[in-house]
Amino acid sequence: MDTRDTIADLRRLPHFRGLPDDLLEGVASASRSVRFDAGLTIFAEGDPVRGFWAVRSGMVKVYRLSIDGHEQVLHHLGQGRTFAEAAVLSMSHYPAHAVAVADTELIEIAAEPFLRLFRGEPRLAAAMVSALSNWLLDLTDRVENLSIASASVRLAHFLLRLPSRRADGVTVLELPFAKKELAAYVATTPETLSRLLRRWQEADVLRSAGRRLEILDERVLSAIADGGENAEVRRAGRAP
Amino acid sequence: MDTRDTIADLRRLPHFRGLPDDLLEGVASASRSVRFDAGLTIFAEGDPVRGFWAVRSGMVKVYRLSIDGHEQVLHHLGQGRTFAEAAVLSMSHYPAHAVAVADTELIEIAAEPFLRLFRGEPRLAAAMVSALSNWLLDLTDRVENLSIASASVRLAHFLLRLPSRRADGVTVLELPFAKKELAAYVATTPETLSRLLRRWQEADVLRSAGRRLEILDERVLSAIADGGENAEVRRAGRAP
DNA sequence: CGGTGCGTTGACATTTCTCAACTGTTGTGG
DNA sequence: CCACAACAGTTGAGAAATGTCAACGCACCG
Angle at CA B155, nearest 5°, toward A152 and A155? 10
Q: Give chain B positions within 8 Å (CB) of A95.
A: 137, 140
What does the pLDDT read at residue A3? 67
Within 8 A by CB and 6+ apart from A20, the residues are none
Q: Which residue is nearest to nucleotide C25 (CA to C1')?
A: B210
With vertex at residue B69, the alpha carbon angle to CA A195 and CA B88, rounded to the nearest 5 degrees, is 105
Chain A residues 62-81 with a CB less than 8 Å from chain B: 64, 66-68, 70, 72-74
Mean pLDDT for A176-181 is 91
Q: Does residue B206 carry a pLDDT above 80?
A: yes
For residue range B84-139, list pLDDT tens digits in order: 999 999 999 999 999 998 889 999 999 998 898 888 878 788 888 989 999 999 99
Report pLDDT for A239. Answer: 34
Mean pLDDT of chain A: 86
Identify the CA nearest to B125 among candidates A134, A132, A232. A132
Tens of pLDDT, residue by residue over A141-169, are 999 888 887 899 999 999 999 988 888 88
Q: Helix and strand tally (H, E) in chain A?
A: 9, 12
Q: A122 and B126 in contact by Cβ < 8 A?
A: no
Alpha carbon distance A53, A74 (integer Å):
16
Nearest to A91 by CA among A120, A70, A69, A111: A111
Q: How far is the CA of B188 from the C1' of D13 (A)?
A: 19
Structure confidence at residue A117 (pLDDT): 84
| Across A14-37, average pLDDT | 84
For B43-72, the pLDDT digits (tens) are 999 999 999 999 999 999 999 987 767 788
